[in-house]
Structure 1
């Protein structure tokens, strides 16, 4: 099984887990809002996971989700030496921002590296510049990575290579979408079309006050 195939499978499993958690603990909350929007991505409103983060960004600034309130934040886990899934996902998010038009300024993409050993802050900054200058990369320590991965229910695993530095990383490839109040609302599986993501984010912005 190739890395891409494994990652797609992991993303599907993560989406199923996210949906199950929502159905088990949050259906009543959704039922209280008859005018709640209907999304094409997996709606995980009320989920008890993916609650927050506290990590250094590629500029050396400590960040939490509260920093981005008023905007929609999209969180993606990856690494700079990823050959296909990560650059494809970041290109997708850059296209999402473009499709949002003037509202694109209210989209904040957060890329969390699962490879802090190799992904230095300068490297992460340069990597983000390849896609959009407003995108931010976050670099956890090894201990912080485990905690944030557990919090977001994502999988990552180091796959040894021919040399100590040629390893790769398997990881979940979905995206978490947070509303303007900092609450997790949607899970978008790897491969979802930019137009579908953009439509849901615009719908989410319209449904929020302020």
Structure 2
């Protein structure tokens, strides 16, 4: 019998999440004109049932809602600070994309939600995000709060060895582009470069501003 490794399981879960995102968009195509149609690469028009309200705790220990966090276009990622490679690489890429956009005159905020409620304190999150970017916002919360945010964005995570202080956590690795009031509009996979992400986000922001937002 073939043994499925944790890494293989995580990859399979990420593939299922990505497929689910695309299916959700395809299933939810509506009749309204899509202001972002010319920008889309990963998803197809309409209003998706991805994202929604949440209540979490920011890196300064303050309770915040999604309305407090998403005050401008944002790049949202779910992960954890103890992650040995994927999360630092992905968050660094997101921070680089935000820097590229800043140089072009676009103000975009990287946001990092930790799924590691046992280890990622607000203080630890602040250290992590400060290293990544002074603009990055770190969020955590109770198990229930984080699980609710994860469900809203259709993400996956699973603690491999609960109670082990060195445990790894399997999790999906998409980055979400979220706009104030509108919510989720696009996702980016791990193979998207910072430059590619910046180009795509700029298109979305231009369309958003062009619609008078």
TM-score for the superposition, normalised by structure 2: 0.86
Deviations 1:12-40 (A, max 9, x none): 321211111111112433xx248732323
Aligned residues: 207
Task: Determine if contact 2:59/2:126 at 8 Å carries over to the other structure.
Answer: yes
SS at match of 2:135: coil
CA gap of 1:184–1:13, structure 2 versus 1, over 3 A, is same
Query: Does 2:132 align with 1:92?
Result: no
Partner of 1:23: 26
The answer (yes or no) to whether the contact 1:97–1:104 under 8 Å persists in 2 is: no
Q: Gaps (5+ residues) in structure 1?
A: none
Please tell me whether the aligned partners of residues 158 and 168 of structure 1 are also in contact (alpha carbons under 8 angstroms). Answer: yes
Using structure 1 for the length normalisation, give the TM-score.
Answer: 0.87
For residues 176 and 159 of structure 2, the distance between their equivalents in structure 1, rounded to whole angstroms, comes to: 22
| Match for residue 14 of structure 1 among 10, 17, 39 | 17
What does the per-residue CA deviation read over 1:157-194, in whole Å, with 9 as the maximum and x for residues that have no partner?
11128x82111100111111112434210011122111
Please give the per-residue CA displacement for 1:128-153, whole angstroms capped at 9, x wherever unaligned: 01110110110120111221111111
Distance 1:61 1:21 in 2: 33
- Structure 1's 28 and 95: CA in aligned 2 closer, same or farther, altered over 3 A? same
Other-structure match for 1:112: 113
Match of 1:199 in 2: 199
Q: Which runs of 5+ in 2 are unaligned?
A: none
Q: CA deviation at 1:104?
A: 6.1
In structure 2, the CA distance between the partners of 1:68 and 1:150, relative to structure 1 (3 Å rule), is closer
Q: Which has the higher contact order (CA 8 A, sep 6+)?
A: 1
